[in-house]
Amino acid sequence: MENKKNIKDYNLDELKKEFENLGEKPYRAEQVFKWIFEANVTSFDEMTNISFKLREKLKQNYIICIYKIIKKQESKDGTKKYLFNIGDDNAIETVLMEYKYGKSLCVSSQIGCKMGCKFCASTGIPFVRNLTSGEIVEQILAVQREEKIKISNVVLMGIGEPLDNYNNVLNAIKIMNNQKGLNIGARHISLSTSGLVPKIYDLANEKLQCTLSISLHATTDEKRSSMMPINNKYNIEELLKACKYYIETTGKRISFEYALAKEENDNEEDAKRLVKLLKGMLCHVNLIPINKIENGKYDKSSNENIIKFRDYLNDHGIVATIRRELGPDIEAACGQLRKKEVKE
């Protein structure tokens, strides 16, 4: 080692090119791709239809990145949270959630995050680096191996701002999407952003079918900037303009995330402004009972208030639902487990 490349970083077209450079036929790349992403093997020796010679060549040039679980927590409601050692003294979090429609995995896209959202447990975890495409996808493969299940939905909503790691995230989506591998349809992949406006335009132009979630959380620039510093760079008006472009270009509905914090953003005036901002847009609002974090300044809004807020939106033409709280007993908010277990 250790200049070996992670074979999971390549989408199928790229792997074919790699194989060409090794003097191998493209169909061999396809066979190896299937072993890695469909059969989920952890060593080249398990690739029984690949010759000994080629396996040795692959071993000389590549590694198969495999995560080890540092800690696994399981909630009473079935939510499971993993802290993975990713091999270079870094750790990342992944959360498995059970929904009526199947198993959904919330994956991280960066080690740490630069965005500094005030309600997020990842704030305070210093940004270390972007995850590579293979490191993003390995979260799915590791959970599939551990639980002996097939993941049907992926949300890019763990630690990190996915659009701040644009190329690797996009490539990871391509890898997840490939029918010869993980075969997770784009419609079953959601990407959540704090609002990196230029990247929303770029993503729209890719015309992927994945769902875009926008962390909105406030209805005035003053309030949003106090919760999410990114708003100082791209304000609500610019953000919603980019969202409209995304909807027009892709024909896809956007999901707006709105975490309700007691006496911060949960009164009727907020609901009224939200209706005004989103009126006429092809969208859905996901109301989230805020997860109280250690030393955090925000408290969860009362259930009564959350229901009132939802009803106001629904009564005024904005489709809104309240997200079920998952794994509150295992600190399922992103960053919470990592903060506890990893000394920075």
What track of x and - describes contact with ligand SF4 for positions 184 through 223 (by CB under 6 A)?
----------x-----------------------------
Q: Can you tell me the distance from the alpha carbon of 84 to that of 266, in angstroms, rounded to the nearest whole number?
A: 35
Taking the least distance from each CB to ligand SF4, the nearer of 156 and 176 is 156
Nearer to ligand SF4 by Cβ, of 12 and 210: the residue is 210
| Complete edge-to-edge strand list for the sheet that includes strand 283-289 | 68-74, 80-85, 91-99, 102-107, 153-156, 189-193, 211-215, 254-260, 283-289, 320-322
334 is catalytic: yes
Q: Would you report the helix, strand and coil content of the chain in percent, each value rounded to 5? A: 40, 20, 40
| Annotated catalytic residue, options 18, 65, 93, 257 | 93
| Among residues 334, 337, 338, 339, the one that binds ligand SF4 under rule CB under 6 A | 334
Which tokens is 18 given?
């790699």
**Residue among 117, 120, 210, 334 flagged as catalytic:** 334
- Residue 123 CB, shortest distance to ligand SF4, in Å, is 5
Displacement of CA 155 from its chain's centroid (Å): 4
Q: In terms of CB distance, is 122 or 165 closer to ligand SF4? A: 122
Draw the binding track, 134-163, toward ligand SF4 (x: CB under 6 A; -: no contact).
Answer: -------------------------xxx--
Q: Where are the beta strands (DSSP E) in the chain?
A: 5-6, 62-63, 68-74, 80-85, 91-99, 102-107, 110-111, 129-130, 153-156, 189-193, 211-215, 254-260, 283-289, 320-322
Binding mask 227-246 for ligand SF4 (x = CB under 6 A): --------------------
In the complex, minimum distance from the CB of residue 78 to ligand SF4, in angstroms, rounded to a whole number: 23
| Residue numbers 108-127 binding ligand SF4 by CB under 6 A | 113, 115-117, 120, 122-123
Active site residue 106: no
**What is the C-alpha to C-alpha distance for residues 341 and 331, in angstroms, rounded to an integer?**
12
H helices of 41-165, where? 52-61, 133-147
Are the CB atoms for 199 and 165 separated by under 8 Å?
Answer: no
State the catalytic residues. Answer: 93, 334
* Residues forming the site for ligand SF4 (CB under 6 A): 113, 115-117, 120, 122-123, 159-161, 194, 334
